[in-house]
Amino acid sequence: MKLFKEILPYLLIIIIVIIIRTFIITPVRVNGDSMEPTLIDKEIVLLKKYDKKYNRFDIVVFNDERGHLIKRIVGLPGETLYYSNNKLFINGKYVKEDFLSSNEETYDYELDTVIPEGYYFVMGDNRDNSTDSRIIGLVPSEDILGTTSFVLYPFNRFGNI
């Protein structure tokens, strides 16, 4: 009985940590440079698993055959997405992508698509070097694990994105 009382606090801590990592938040490592300059290769970000309401330009983590990918939501379900001359149009209206630096506007492609319900169009911030919806297609909502907006490591970049 005395041994059980000594072990109980440690068991509770382990259970709480498992619950937090399973359902609330967990660290995720950035692999590659497709989200530069917003996220840098090998950074550790916090994935908010509880966040299931996705908005335009949220950064999400989702499952893919290559593992976890981190991209930015550009197009939402039910929208008509059109890219031309490096400019994004949603339902016929121009939408400025403030997170892209002026030197990032070198990507060149044409796109015109309607996003069905339950799917999202995602892109990396480094448009010239990103495997995103232009290549892998639309991302089903059930594959999205959650959002991220906080860099945990390295400490010199610690904080909100």
Which residues are known catalytic residues? Answer: 34, 71
Distances (CA, A) of 99 to 38, 61, 65: 8, 18, 27
Strand partners, 146: 61
3-state helix, strand and coil shares in percent for the chain, rounded to the nearest 5: 25, 35, 40
Gap between the terminal Cα atoms of the chain: 49
* Residue carrying structure tokens 């031309």: 84
